[in-house]
């Protein structure tokens, strides 16, 4: 039986439509309107244009290609946003399209297959993690309940500085001891790292080395992440170091979890004392949308320790460095402290809102020395359109806050350290003002910002209240080197060495 004539007409018509559709999608693909950027080489792409301080290389490139540019690094497209407008398009208007993180070897090997918060892809697991941060780990109540820990550790810093007795000290070592102790006690329940502690399984110096290594390995440009088909060669040896490091951390985390579980099993009226307790309790909750496994608890714990330790120490070190170059600012700050706090006691967290000038110094420090100059990389979960340009799915996205925070169209004399620019202005660091984004913004914004700010502001306030700061006698302020190194935290290249002299009545240092 012959098919009716309309069937073959219909078939012909369908074929034509299909062909046209195919052609038009092909044409659409060819006509993608990508953001401007430099021409790229085969295989390496634009890697030849990226130096040892990538945010500065991108800064220079953006002067040429504009506030939204596209590069090719190895096999990946990378979009870099470098203006208030483009940053807010990415972090606010299109936040949801860019709310995931690229998969990297560091995420895989050092955070239990992306089970932590920082590197976990967008989805129910990560959303639940953020909810835990908001309602449990960093709730106002929880942070307040730990205030005594922050005060005790601050006091021990003051005592140490006092006993340095006018000798030269490497400030950052003291600062990172404070933040490591604060964060260990809040997260793990005790210092854990005290020498002489009976079941101390790791020496403090070794643990600090592990944290440094973690930061380094999370910040490096690992070739395998960019040119995947040679990844297996591990030419730089980073993947091997990641695996070694992960083993060391795991041994520590296992010990911590076992101890916590033992206390839980044996004490009668158990209540959560620290963040690991809270996480273990959550892991037992049958009503969780996504089960939190043991390796998830370990990954979160490691995130909290890593995120909380280095960032505040680095920021305070930068602040003191800038102030040593600007003694007039120290005078103004100490006047404010004398007036608001007075010379008969130390600064408490409740004083901070009444210290606008000290807070302005912190903002100005974070403006010029952001801990994460390009935030943490994001990735496009879907095709998106930004400022008329196409950003295809899987494009990696960087927001170069280093450039934005030095933008002369936003800040007058951007290279000058001047806290005055923030005094009386309604600009905060909470991710609402795109000209100042030290903690990022949007769904992926730093969940630890309130803790980080508390530690930075009260350390700096007390350091200025309690001590006069001087460079070693043989050094002039102009000689103070302000270079940085790239890692995940952008610290000073040359650690700051200073002399601290007490400026309050001696009995106050008897803590």
Ligand X SMILES: *[C@@H]1O[C@H](CO)[C@@H](O)[C@H](O)[C@H]1NC(C)=O
Provide the annotated binding site for heme: 446
User: Up-side HSE of residue 361: CA atoms within 13 Å toward CB?
Assistant: 32
* Bridge partners (DSSP) listed for residue 399: 81
Q: For residue 292, state whether it binds ligand HEM (rule: CB under 6 A).
A: no
Give me the least distance between CB of 119 and ligand HEM, in Å please: 7
**Which option in ligand X, ligand HEM, none does residue 162 bind, with CB closer than 5 to 8 A by kind?**
none
> Residue 156 touches which of ligand X, ligand HEM, none (CB < 5 to 8 A by kind)?
none
Q: Which residues contact 464 (CB under 8 A, 6 or more apart)?
A: 323, 330, 333, 334, 337, 358
Nearer of residues 89 and 306 to ligand X, judged by Cβ: 306
Torsion angle in degrees (nearest 10) through CA of 454, 459, 464, 470: -140
Residue 448 engages ligand HEM in binding (rule: CB under 6 A): yes
Count of residues engaged in binding ligand X, rule: CB under 6 A: 13
Q: Nearer to ligand HEM by C-beta: 276 or 504?
A: 276
94-97, long-range: CB within 8 Å, 24+ apart, which pairs? 94/384, 94/386, 95/442, 95/443, 96/381, 96/443, 97/380, 97/381, 97/382, 97/384, 97/391
Instruction: Answer yes or no whether residue 51 interacts with ligand X by CB under 6 A.
Output: yes
Among positions 182, 372, 379, 397, the unique one binding ligand HEM when judged by CB under 6 A: 372
Q: Is 300 in the site for ligand X (CB under 6 A)?
A: no
Per rule CB under 6 A, is residue 405 in the interface with ligand HEM? no
Ordered alpha helix ranges (H), 111-237: 124-132, 140-145, 147-163, 171-188, 204-219, 223-226
Q: Can you tell me which of 45, 224, 419, 452 binds ligand HEM, judged by CB under 6 A? A: 452
Instruction: Please check whether residue 496 is in contact with residue 321, taking contact to mean a CB–CB distance below 8 angstroms.
Output: yes
Output the DSSP codes for 142-179: HHHHTHHHHHHHHHHHHHHHHHTTT--EEHHHHHHHHH
**Nearest approach, Cβ of residue 447 and ligand X (Å):** 23
Least distance (Å) between residue 493 CB and ligand X = 14
Annotated binding site: 446
Answer yes or no whether residue 491 interacts with ligand HEM by CB under 6 A: no
Integer distance in angstroms from the first to the last C-alpha of the chain?
Answer: 103
Task: Take residue 172 and report the two structure tokens written for it.
Answer: 């950052």
Does residue 177 belong to the site contacting ligand X (CB under 6 A)? Answer: yes
Distances (CA, A) of 391 to 34, 41, 360, 384, 396: 7, 20, 37, 5, 9
Is residue 160 a contact residue for ligand X (CB under 6 A)? yes
- Using CB under 6 A, which of 34, 38, 47, 56 touches ligand X? 56
Any contact of residue 180 with ligand HEM (CB under 6 A)? no
User: Between residue 191 and residue 210, which ones bind ligand X under the rule CB under 6 A?
Assistant: 195, 204
Please, what is the minimum distance in Å from the beta carbon of residue 185 to ligand HEM? 12
> Which one of ligand HEM, ligand X, none is in contact with 118 (Cβ closer than 5 to 8 A by kind)?
ligand HEM
The candidate with the shortest Cα–Cα distance to 385, out of 99, 26, 82, 93, is 93
Which residues lie near ligand HEM (CB under 6 A)?
117-118, 130, 303-304, 307-308, 311-312, 315, 371-372, 375-376, 438-440, 444-448, 451-452, 456
């Amino acid at each position: 039986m012959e098919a009716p004539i309309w069937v073959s007409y219909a078939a012909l018509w369908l074929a034509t439509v299909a062909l046209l559709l195919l052609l038009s999608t092909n044409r659409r693909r060819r006509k993608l309107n990508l953001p401007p950027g430099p021409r790229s080489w085969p295989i390496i792409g634009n890697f030849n244009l990226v130096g040892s301080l990538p945010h500065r290389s991108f800064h220079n490139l953006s002067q040429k290609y504009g506030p939204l540019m596209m590069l090719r690094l190895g096999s990946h497209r990378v979009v870099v946003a470098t203006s208030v407008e483009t940053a807010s398009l990415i972090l606010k208007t299109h936040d949801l399209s860019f709310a995931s993180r690229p998969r990297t070897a560091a995420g895989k090997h050092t955070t239990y297959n992306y089970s932590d918060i920082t590197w976990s892809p967008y989805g129910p697991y990560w959303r639940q993690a953020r909810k835990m941060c908001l309602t449990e780990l960093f709730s106002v109540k929880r942070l307040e309940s730990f205030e005594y820990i922050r005060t005790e550790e601050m006091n021990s810093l003051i005592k140490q500085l006092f006993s340095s007795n006018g000798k030269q000290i490497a400030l950052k070592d003291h600062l990172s001891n404070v933040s490591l102790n604060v964060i260990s006690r809040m997260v793990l329940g005790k210092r854990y790292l005290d020498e002489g502690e009976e079941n101390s399984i790791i020496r403090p110096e070794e643990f600090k080395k592990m944290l440094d290594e973690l930061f380094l390995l999370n910040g490096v440009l690992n070739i395998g992440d960019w040119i995947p088909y040679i990844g297996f060669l591990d030419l730089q040896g980073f993947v091997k170091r990641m695996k070694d490091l992960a083993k060391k951390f795991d041994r520590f985390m296992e010990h911590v979890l076992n101890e916590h579980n033992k206390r839980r099993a044996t004490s009668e009226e158990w209540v959560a004392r620290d963040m690991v307790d809270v996480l273990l309790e959550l892991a037992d909750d049958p009503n969780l949308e996504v089960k939190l496994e043991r390796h998830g608890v370990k990954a979160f714990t490691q995130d909290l320790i890593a995120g909380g330790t280095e960032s505040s120490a680095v920021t305070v070190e930068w602040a003191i460095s800038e102030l040593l170059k600007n003694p007039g600012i120290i005078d103004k700050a100490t006047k404010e402290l004398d007036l608001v706090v007075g010379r008969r006691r130390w600064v408490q967290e409740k004083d901070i809102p009444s210290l606008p000038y000290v807070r302005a110094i912190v903002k100005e420090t974070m403006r010029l020395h952001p801990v994460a100059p390009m935030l943490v990389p994001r990735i496009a979960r879907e095709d998106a359109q930004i400022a008329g340009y196409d950003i295809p799915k899987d494009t990696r996205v960087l927001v170069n806050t280093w450039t934005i925070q030095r933008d002369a169209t936003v800040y007058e004399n951007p290279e000058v350290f001047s806290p005055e620019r923030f005094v009386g202005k309604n600009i905060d660091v909470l991710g609402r003002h795109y000209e100042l984004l030290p903690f990022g913004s949007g769904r992926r914004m730093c969940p630890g910002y309130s803790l980080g700010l508390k530690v930075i502001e009260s350390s700096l306030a007390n350091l200025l209240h309690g001590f006069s700061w001087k460079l070693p006698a043989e050094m002039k302020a102009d000689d103070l080197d302000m270079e940085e190194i790239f890692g995940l935290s952008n610290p000073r290249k040359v650690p700051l060495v200073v002399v601290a002299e007490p400026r309050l009545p001696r009995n106050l240092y008897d803590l």
